[in-house]
Amino acid sequence: MVHMTSTPPRWAVRAAHLCALVTLPTGIWRLLLATGHTAGYTDSGYAAMDFTGWGAGYVLGLSLLSEAVALLTLGLVRPWGEVLPRWIPLLGGRPLPRLAVVVPAAFGALALTVLWTPLVAWWAVPHPDLTAHGSVVVGLLYLPLVAWGPLLGAVTVSYHRRRVGGRQAAAASIITP
């Protein structure tokens, strides 16, 4: 029998859900680009970005990948982030090693923080390929991504503490009659 750790705190569950939500505005914007809408670009800026053919596939794939990775954060607050679901062939029902989850999540949080934090200076940089209105809208759509790394980091710390605490509690129950 696999020992389940404590229930995640409510704030961690909310933060995990926010991780999945902060990628949606940019994903929807990229979908507009892939379907031929300039979505704030000038005509020449849109043409230069080449959102047709492979370019459309790229922005579509980037949107799907971003959302899929963001949804993985839910595993840090759900049982399937501790024990693989039974329907997974050969591995189902096995516990996930804590560090196999914490290390990639921590590196992901750090990478996302480094990648998206510069967006706070979006409006200080000219964007000649975007219209004035488009620059404001794109900045507002990308701004939620600044929170993605710190949110993931906080949820990762919570997951780590629960998993370590659960192991310590299990060890104490074995030692103490």
Cβ contacts of 128-131, under 8 Å, gap ≥ 24 = 128/42, 128/45, 129/41, 129/42, 129/44, 129/45, 129/46, 129/48, 129/49, 130/40, 130/41, 130/42, 130/45, 131/40, 131/41, 131/42
Report the amino acid identity of residue 116: W
Domain span at 95: 10-175
Residue 85 lies in a domain: yes
Give pLDDT, residue 175. 47
CA-CA-CA-CA torsion sign (148, 154, 158, 161): positive
Q: Tell me: the pLDDT tens digits for 162-173?
A: 999 755 544 444
Model confidence pTM above 0.75:
yes
Residue 36 lies in a domain: yes
Residue 70 lies in a domain: yes
Give pLDDT, residue 165. 79
Residue 4 lies in a domain: no
Q: Tell me: the pLDDT tens digits for 34-82?
A: 999 999 999 999 999 988 889 999 999 999 999 999 999 999 999 999 9
Residue 165 lies in a domain: yes
Range of weakest confidence among 19-33, 53-67, 117-131, 155-169: 155-169
Give pLDDT, residue 5. 63
Q: Tell me: the pLDDT tens digits for 77-117?
A: 999 999 988 888 888 889 999 999 999 999 999 999 999 99
pLDDT higher at 157 or 87? 157
Residue 167 lies in a domain: yes
Q: How far apart are CA 164 and CA 170, in angstroms?
A: 10
Helix (H, G, I), strand (E, B) or coil at 41: strand
Q: How far apart are CA 31 and CA 40, in angstroms?
A: 13
Q: How far apart are CA 47 and CA 63, in angstroms?
A: 20
Residue 5 lies in a domain: no
Give pLDDT, residue 169. 47
Listed residue (73, 63, 91) closest to 19, CA to CA: 73
Query: How many residues belong to the chain?
Result: 177
- In the block, residue with structure tokens 């129950």: 173
- Residue 152 in tokens: 């993931």
The answer to whether 163 touches 6, Cβ cutoff 8 Å, is no
Residue 2 lies in a domain: no
- Residue 167 in tokens: 């192991």
- The structural domain count of the chain equals 1
